[in-house]
Amino acid sequence: MADAKFYYCIRHHTVEGEEGCKAIDRLGPYSTREEAEHALELAQERNERWDNDPEWNDDAPGPGRSTT
């Protein structure tokens, strides 16, 4: 079971295996059940990093962008 994959179902708020809800309703795959249990926290952390990353933030001035 070393190759098992886990997913977090955003519809049912549960961790499930490969045989679960449709892909549109899931986050993952994750290597462990514990990782999948924290999927929403991980997604929030990533969103915050991306929102504050000048390379990905269209609203922030960057190379070649005018501030006016």
Tokens 């994959």 sit at which residue? 5
pTM of the model: 0.70
Question: How far, in Å, CA of 51 to CA of 19, rounded?
Answer: 33
CA distance 33 to 45: 19
Q: What is the mean pLDDT of residues 43-47?
A: 93
| Bridge partners, 6 (sequence order) | 30
Share of the chain above pLDDT 70, in %: 78
- 8 - beta bridge partners? 15, 27
d(CA 50, CA 67): 20
- For the ranges 13-17, 18-22, 31-35, 55-59, which has the lowest average pLDDT? 55-59
Distance CA 51, CA 45 (A): 10
